Amino acid sequence: MADDLAQRAERMLSLWSDLSMRHVALGGACACGTGGVSLRLEDFELDIVGYLEDTGLRCDVAEVAGFFTALQQAGPQDQPLRSLLHDLEEGRMPEAVARWLLTRIERTLTSFAELHGGGRA
Amino acid sequence: MGGHFSSLLATDVVQGERIPVTVLTGFLGSGKTTMLNRLLKLPDLHGTAVIVNEYGAVGIDHDLIAQTSDDIVLLANGCMCCAVRGDLAEALQRIAERQDTPVRQVLIETSGLADPGPVLRTLMADPGIQSRFELAGVVCTVDSVLGMATLDRYPESVRQVAVADSLFLSKTDLLEDQSLLSPLVQRLRDVNAVAQLHAERDRQPQLLYEHIRVGGNRQTTPPEALFYRTPFIAGGRDTDTAPRHRDGISSFVLVRDVPLPRDAFAAWLDMVIAMRGEDLLRVKGLVQQAEDPDRPLLIHGVQHLFSPPELLPAWPSADRRTRIVFITRGVDAEAMGETLDVLVRRHMRRPLSTF
């Protein structure tokens, strides 16, 4: 069971490593005259973790809410998504938290990948 | 963030009164010409201009014609018909500049084989056109007898149905049994669940006339006609509708109860346009902005081009939720909702846009 979680975490880590390097050219393919502005999906790392945190703090699973409360108290850190995925990969989380978190991360990262790659990611 | 939609929001252009333009599409033999001629027989079409590809191809009834000059045909009932031999934008400019007959609404009839996308993009992308004309909607004729086979064989016909606001079923009188319509209706619903469907033959010319006038009369338009097919979002649902997939087209409505921060929504749409603009066949909707929740933002886009968003003076009904209809080529509904939520989170964390 733990192996399964570790493998899923590894896949997500690999997906995030790939996604975070990608650029989105805003208006680059547009005839409206806007161009030259781009962003990296890496810029969304804090937002993704913040989004997971908001959802986790509101969820019914006490263990998950407790985990995110502790995470908030620990203060900000660099590359928080990568850090969470490493913890998941190494089995450093309670199983209930790991299952909840992985499911959410999979949904979010797959969504970004789907949009960026048109389902080909 | 600096993308297409953000730049439109930032321009803060106040649109004056614009001439509504309806696009009439439909595959070869689907009944466009018949529909057009039935419309042209209505008694009072003063102020209506019709743009067709070629007179010969369309075959306007000679009995209706009162006068011809250059590319313009004047009908006895006041309607003006103009042939497009090249540039649609030029034809629209010519119509707009006519002093003798002020134009109140325009109908453009596309070629049966045409993807209506380029016509819609001309209406949205050309600044000279955009300032004087607005897209009132797309009407598509569908042959009740041969429609199913046409959809099977010709992807262009699927796209015509997909981008339509209204579907007019033609030749229903040729069906021996009206129940034979059901599979076609289901197919059309699968491709485009948000379009209004009209099967009553006798009412169609008047309905088409009402349709072409609606853009200029938005304040009195019933809310259900303002871009939403009620059954698709009915039932008090406060979540996104389940997407429908058919023929490579997926359609869904993104619904949000909570007002969206303006910058977050714009940043998200910028991103979606940049990533999947090609696959956005039509996007239309009302957005409740956190900064101005009493006035909905009307948005409308075709592929990577959007019209300047319009802040309406009030909500058209008691339903003040953000509701955006997406007709797409394979864009995943859940991915859209999920990424929007992440972007909203971003802007709650950073009240000022810091992209």
- pLDDT confidence bin for B256, thresholds 50/70/90: very high
A112·B270 Cβ contact <8 A: no
Please report, rounded to a whole number, the percentage of residues in chain A having pLDDT higher than 70.
86
Instruction: Name the residue with tokens 């485009």.
Output: B192
Contacts of B304 in chain A (CB under 8 A): 29-30
Residues of A whose CB is below 8 A from B126: none
Integer Cα distance of A76 and B54 in angstroms: 66
Lowest mean pLDDT among B80-94, B171-185, B266-280: B80-94
Q: pLDDT, tens digit, for every residue of A37-85? A: 777 888 889 889 999 999 999 998 999 999 999 998 888 888 999 999 9
User: The tokens 């909702």 sit on which residue?
Assistant: B337
Residues of B in contact with A111 (CB under 8 A): 332, 334-336, 338-339
DSSP per position, B78-142: S-EEEE-SS-HHHHHHHHHH-SSS---EEEEEPPTT--SHHHHHHHHH-HHHHTTEEEEEEEEEE
Closest CA to B304 of A78, A94, A33, A74: A33
Token output for A35: 């161009």
Q: Using the beta-carbon criterion (under 8 Å), do B305 and A32 form an inter-chain contact?
A: yes
- What's the gap in Å between the CA of B269 and the closest CA on chain A? 10
Can you give the pLDDT at residue B147? 94
Q: How confident is the model at residue B68 (pLDDT cuts 50, 70, 90)?
A: low
B72-75 and B292-302 as β-strands: parallel, antiparallel, unpaired? Answer: unpaired
Q: Which pTM was predicted?
A: 0.80
Comparing CB atoms, the residue among A32, A114, A115 nearest residue B4 is A32
Q: Residue B7: which of B284, B307, B345, B282 has the closest Cα? A: B307
pLDDT at B54: 55
Residue linked to tokens 């790659």 = A117
Nearest by CB: B7 against A28, A34, A47: A34
ipTM: 0.86
> Given a cut of 90, is residue B110 above it in pLDDT?
no
Mutation target to probe the B interface, by most B beta carbons within 10 A, among A16, A20, A22, A34 is A34
Residues 242-271 of B with CB under 8 A from A: 270-271
In contact, B263 and B353? CB cutoff 8 Å: yes
Task: Give percent of chain B with pLDDT exceeding 70.
Answer: 77
pLDDT score, position B229: 37
Nearest chain A residue to B127, by CA: A32
Interface subset of B 132-161, CB within 8 angstroms of A: none
For the record, the structure tokens of B255 come out as 């619904």
pLDDT band at B43 (very low <50, low <70, confident <90, very high): confident
- pLDDT tier at A31, thresholds 50, 70, 90: very low
Q: How many CB pairs under 8 A join A and B?
A: 95
User: How far A40 CA lies from chain B's nearest CA (Å)?
Assistant: 10
